[in-house]
């Protein structure tokens, strides 16, 4: 039995098994479970307004983790993830409203359909790299946008599609709090899967592709297969997020899934931290909370400076843009790194190393 107050110090791992472990001390493990318990208790502590924010954070976290798997871990840029989210939303919505499939089947189905579409648009990655691939994914975004608007028999087009909240044992999850348990559970599952993915052969192959694709291929990683797999997996996450977003806002409209959403998702992982699962969550939280904070600030300021409130949307865009650039210049590893720095500071206090 280890001394419970012992600090973590040095790396004394002697087996690969220990090195790959998610928690290196029992305290870290306990802390994680405590955090999860607190997350489940939050709605009863904070009321439904904060819970609605948490819901959005949970949903966007799933999409951001997905994009981070593709961009942060596998190194393939996608400017089309908003559209993949849309595919998941429309596919699951179509199954639920037109065929009466329950949410619990429709949501994974939506994810799988999004994964299929993502894999198809990932096919160019066999021959394209870097910027050319990014533009191919932009083309995917534009083409899918067009499909959402024009394929009215399935998507409802500009008239949008209304979807019901999911039900469990006959009870609809129609309050913010009940929906939160669903969103949180799904976010935790997807987060856990992503964290564990990078302890496996597949995950390591993806990281190898990011670091040096030629070297990876020499080591026996089938580039094409893994790149398409990364696209599919990442689109699956986006699709599930979309399938959750639809029932949450009760209406699915093509306008939700434009290039702007894709850009916001990219901004989330940049601000949160590329190649970090927790970073995706921080980034999602940042992007959800920022507009609310800006609008609060503008309402407050408009008491003193008339007319500020009207320019709210512009202010929001301005702050977004500035935040992205500042993060890129000052802390390219994002909020995840900032958080780690803070933790290290307190752990090592009063010394700096």
Partner 1 sequence: MELLLQLVVQGIVVGSLYALVALGFVLIYKSSDVINLAQGEFLLLGAYIGLVFAGSLQVPFLLAVLLSLAAAFGTGLLVERLVLRPFIGEPAISVIMATLGLSMIIRSLIHMIWGTAPRSYPPVFSQEPIQLAAGPYRVLVSEAHLWTLAAAVILLVALTAFFRYSITGIAMRASADDQQAALSMGISVKRVLAVTWGVAAMVSGLGGVMLGNMNGITPILSSYGLKVLPVAILGGLDSIPGAIAGGFVIGILENLAGGYLDPLVPGGGVKEVAPFAFLLLVLLIRPYGLFGKEIIERV
Residues that bind partner 1 (CB under 8 A): 71, 77, 123-124, 127-128, 130-132, 134-136, 138-140, 142-143, 146, 149-150, 152, 157, 214-215, 218, 259, 263, 266-267, 270, 274, 311, 314-315, 317-318, 320-325, 328-329, 332
DSSP 163: -
Q: Which is nearer to partner 1, 51 or 68 (by Cβ)? A: 68
The vertex-82 CA angle with 78 and 84, nearest 5°, equals 80
Q: Is residue 64 a contact partner of residue 242, using CB atoms and an 8 Å limit? A: no
Question: Helices marked H in the chain — which ranges?
Answer: 16-20, 26-68, 81-99, 103-122, 130-150, 152-155, 176-197, 201-211, 213-218, 223-249, 259-272, 277-301, 312-330, 334-348
Minimum CB–partner distance for residue 34 and partner 1 (Å)? 35
Minimum CB–partner distance for residue 108 and partner 1 (Å)? 28
229's CB contacts (< 8 A; 6+ apart) are 119, 202
Q: Which residue from 333, 194, 337 is spatially nearest to 270, judged by alpha carbons?
A: 333
Burial class of residue 304, CB neighbours in 10 A (0-12, 13-18, 19+): exposed
Q: Is residue 233 a contact partner of residue 66, using CB atoms and an 8 Å limit? A: yes
Q: Which residue from 67, 66, 69, 106 is spatially nearest to 88, judged by alpha carbons?
A: 106
345: Cα separation from own chain's centroid:
28
Q: Which is nearer to partner 1, 27 or 120 (by Cβ)? A: 120
Q: Which is nearer to partner 1, 102 or 321 (by Cβ)? A: 321
Minimum CB–partner distance for residue 38 and partner 1 (Å)? 33
How far is residue 82's CA from residue 233's CA, in Å, rounded to a whole number? Answer: 15
Minimum CB–partner distance for residue 56 and partner 1 (Å)? 20
Pairing, β 251-252 against β 167-168: unpaired
Q: Which is nearer to partner 1, 311 or 343 (by Cβ)? A: 311
Minimum CB–partner distance for residue 334 and partner 1 (Å)? 11
Q: Which is nearer to partner 1, 261 or 266 (by Cβ)? A: 266
Q: Which is nearer to partner 1, 38 or 260 (by Cβ)? A: 260
Minimum CB–partner distance for residue 211 and partner 1 (Å)? 12
Q: Which is nearer to partner 1, 206 or 243 (by Cβ)? A: 206
Q: Which residue from 154, 145, 149 is spatially nearest to 97, judged by alpha carbons?
A: 154
How far is residue 190's CA from residue 188's CA, in Å, rounded to a whole number? Answer: 5
Q: Which is nearer to partner 1, 18 or 317 (by Cβ)? A: 317
Task: Give me the residues paired with residue 103 across strands.
Answer: none
Classify residue 175 as left (phi > 0), alpha (psi -120 to 50) or beta.
beta
Q: Which is nearer to partner 1, 205 or 266 (by Cβ)? A: 266
Q: Which is nearer to partner 1, 19 or 152 (by Cβ)? A: 152
Minimum CB–partner distance for residue 63 and partner 1 (Å)? 17
Minimum CB–partner distance for residue 218 and partner 1 (Å)? 7
Minimum CB–partner distance for residue 201 and partner 1 (Å)? 23
- How crowded is the C-beta side of 259, counted as CA atoms within 13 Å? 11
Minimum CB–partner distance for residue 167 and partner 1 (Å)? 35
Hey, what are 205's tokens? 């192959």
């Amino acid at each position: 039995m280890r001394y419970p107050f012992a600090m973590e110090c040095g790396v004394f791992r002697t087996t690969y098994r220990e090195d790959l472990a998610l928690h290196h001390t029992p305290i870290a493990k306990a802390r994680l479970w405590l955090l999860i318990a607190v997350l489940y208790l939050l709605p009863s502590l904070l009321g439904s307004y904060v819970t609605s924010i948490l819901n959005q954070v949970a949903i966007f976290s799933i999409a951001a983790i997905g994009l981070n798997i593709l961009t942060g871990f596998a190194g393939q840029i996608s400017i089309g993830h908003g559209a993949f989210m849309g595919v998941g939303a429309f596919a699951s919505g179509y199954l639920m409203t037109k065929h009466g499939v329950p949410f619990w089947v429709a949501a994974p189905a939506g994810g799988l359909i999004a994964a299929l579409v993502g894999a198809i648009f990932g096919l160019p990655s066999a021959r394209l790299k870097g910027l050319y691939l990014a533009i191919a994914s932009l083309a995917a975004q534009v083409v899918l946008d067009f499909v959402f608007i024009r394929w009215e028999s399935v998507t409802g087009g500009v008239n949008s599609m209304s979807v019901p909240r999911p039900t469990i044992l006959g009870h609809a999850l129609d309050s913010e709090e009940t929906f939160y348990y669903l969103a949180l559970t799904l976010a935790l599952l997807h987060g856990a899967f992503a964290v564990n993915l990078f302890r496996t052969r597949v995950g390591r192959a993806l990281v190898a592709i990011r670091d040096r694709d030629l070297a990876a291929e020499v080591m026996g990683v089938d580039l094409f297969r893994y790149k398409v797999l990364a696209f599919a997996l990442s689109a699956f996450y986006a699709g599930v997020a979309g399938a959750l977003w639809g029932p949450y806002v009760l209406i699915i409209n093509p306008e939700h899934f434009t290039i702007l959403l894709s850009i916001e998702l990219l901004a989330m992982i940049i601000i949160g931290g590329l190649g970090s699962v927790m970073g995706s969550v921080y980034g999602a939280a940042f992007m959800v909370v920022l507009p609310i904070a800006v609008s609060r600030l503008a309402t407050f300021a408009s008491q003193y400076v008339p007319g500020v409130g009207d320019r709210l949307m512009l202010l929001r865009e301005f702050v977004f843009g500035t935040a992205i650039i500042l993060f890129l210049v000052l802390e390219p590893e994002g909020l995840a790194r900032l958080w780690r720095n803070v933790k290290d500071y307190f752990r090592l206090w009063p010394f700096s190393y």
